[in-house]
Structure 1
Amino acid sequence: MIVETEAYMGVTDKSCHTYGGRRTKCNEAMFMSSGTIYVYKIHGIYHCFNLSAEEEGAVVLLRAVQPLEGIDSMNQLRTQFQRRRRQTSSDDNRVEKPYKPKMLANGPSKLCIAFDITKDNMNKVDITNSSLIWIE
């Protein structure tokens, strides 16, 4: 269940990547049809997941999700990501506690990690007719 979003109103919104009509290869998805996924990286490692909206260059950032199913898979993805960040092997003796469901995707980048959303696998995907990802 989506529990937090943030809207960016497009070319007139100073906090939007398309402010002033700025159009680049990186933000091209923001100018595509409504429902196109726009994924970008922050800090060189984390991703943020957005959906293009009706206005030119406008998007909605999905900030947080409360998982209703797939919790074990999300826990595994979050744990694997943390191991890679620590540069430890999967046979590390460290015992990791599972994340509480409400903590699995309670931030834009945690959401992307929990759902395995990256720029490489989801950017420019049309969510309205995708079999990879959808919103009900």
Structure 2
Amino acid sequence: MNKNKQEDPPIKHCEITVTKLDDGSYEASYEPKVITVTDNDTILSFKLVQAPADVIIRSVSINPEDQDQLSTPSISRHGNHVTLSDVNTQRDTFHLDFTYGSKKGEKLAVAAAKMGVMGGLYPEISNDPP
């Protein structure tokens, strides 16, 4: 065994469900809603696990925009998986804003599922450096 071999980075998984509502609108939910990152150089993996057949992830933006903790999100070729890395060197909270579309190229209005009375913005990434 090579004692100098680096360990694989920790991975945090989040499942995304998009549901088409009776009124024709869409709603997205995330599990977990809050991702607590406690290790440096953690990979964040978001997978569309349940959605209408034509729904894909088109883009992901990070709020606040001027942060230096999270990498630019990378969306898989088929639009069902997103990865990014978190250096996690400072305590902070970030929100990801997912934009969804159809496989035909149409942008879909997908609202985040309301959670509780306050209806926070999800998914949320909470950095808690070691």
**TM over 0.5, yes or no?**
no
Please identify which structure carries the higher strand content. Answer: 2
Please identify which structure carries the higher helix content. Answer: 1
Indicate the TM-score class for this superposition, using the shorter chain for normalisation: under 0.3
> With structure 1 as the length reference, what TM-score do the two structures score?
0.21
